[in-house]
Amino acid sequence: MFSKACEYGLRAATYIALQSLDGRRVSLKEIADKIDSPIAFTAKILQLLSKNNIVESVKGAHGGFEITRTKMDKLKLSEIVNAIDGDSIYAGCGLGLKECNANKPCPVHSKFVDIRNDLREMLENTSLYEMTAGLEVGLTFLKR
Amino acid sequence: MFSKACEYGLRAATYIALQSLDGRRVSLKEIADKIDSPIAFTAKILQLLSKNNIVESVKGAHGGFEITRTKMDKLKLSEIVNAIDGDSIYAGCGLGLKECNANKPCPVHSKFVDIRNDLREMLENTSLYEMTAGLEVGLTFLKR
DNA sequence: TTCTAATAGGATAATTTTGTCCGATTTAAA
DNA sequence: TTTAAATCGGACAAAATTATCCTATTAGAA
């Protein structure tokens, strides 16, 4: 559904948000360790998220990644997914046809539209803060 | 959502079914041309579909691919997807966690479950014959 | 029987995605 | 001011996916 890069990005952002709630700025090393992702690859993804103003990065000693409470409240998962995977999830035909729309639908067009809309709605309505909510009370886990 | 291979496979199977309705056995060349896919790559996918008893292949002159009416009625899209992409769509966590289930859910687990179920249901309930229905009356298109 | 049109299948190549490495830069603290 | 800890960024490498090519095999028809 999502690329690996996107999965790492979502997990990383969630972990950063969770720690930021406690006022903790976290390092790349800690993030990769806690979300179980390849460290150098995760670094690239974090650079991307930083450039897209999704997380804040601080260079130098005691640097790391963080995100403000206001930001994680406003930020929707769709923005993270979009920064990494683009709009490939929403766009595109289920059968891979270039031109497939309501006027010229492929055989499963309408069925895919519904499912894609549910996915888009979910991503657009879920904030990064919501992602941390379950983690705080131990109901959800970022790593087994 | 699906791999390219799977998209080609779905389009190819649909085209074969459509032509089989008219009693026409179709060649690889014709299929690739009509569904707008790379011919040699499509050959590999058709081999796979043939091995999985999804379409019938006939070698030699006047050979090609076909599928019986009974078969296309029974055959669900899920079987085609499964033959090519495996169960990667249904299975797996949205965030890429190895162990993510109702007991140990990731923060978006329940939301993904719903969407994946819709997708699975759609694939398991749509027959290959249904795919051709729209094509016959010109409402849907396999190629722009 | 021979020719021709077709799929089967193995080897290989190109492209994309995923992942690593290393030096440059930044910043806090000793 | 030096050192150490951290991100940044470019180059590179590995793996997976997508795609091509060529030969073998099959089978219908002349």
Domains of chain A: 4-136 (1.10.10.10)
Higher pLDDT among residues B99 and A34, named by residue: A34
Closest CA to B10 of B31, B27, B39, B25: B31
- For nucleotide D7, the protein residue with its alpha carbon nearest to C1' is A59
Whole-structure pTM value: 0.93
Q: What pLDDT is attached to residue B139? A: 72
**Residue A7 tokens, joined:** 């999965």
Residue A59 CB: number of other CB atoms within 10 A?
Answer: 6
Spatial distance between the Cα atoms of A11 and A21, rounded to a whole number of angstroms: 16
Over residues B108-124, the pLDDT tens digits come to 888 888 999 999 999 99
Average pLDDT over residues B33-53: 97
| CB of A39 lies under 7 Å from some atom of strand C | yes
* Closest Cα in chain A, distance from residue B26 (Å): 20
Q: Do B118 and A117 contact (CB within 8 A), yes or no?
A: no
pLDDT band at B144 (very low <50, low <70, confident <90, very high): low
Residue of A111, A120, A132, A136 to mutate, interface with B, max B Cβ within 10 Å: A111
Q: Which residue has the tokens 């074969």?
A: B16
Q: Which residue has the tokens 């140990």?
A: B104
**Residue A134 tokens, joined:** 């379950």
**Residue B134 tokens, joined:** 């729209």
CA B35 vs CA A50, A129, B24, B66: distances in Å: 41, 44, 16, 15
Spatial distance between the Cα atoms of B62 and B40, rounded to a whole number of angstroms: 19
Higher pLDDT among residues A16 and B111, named by residue: A16
Report which residue type is found at B50: S
Phi, psi of A65 (to 5 degrees): -120, 145
**Residue A78 tokens, joined:** 């769709």
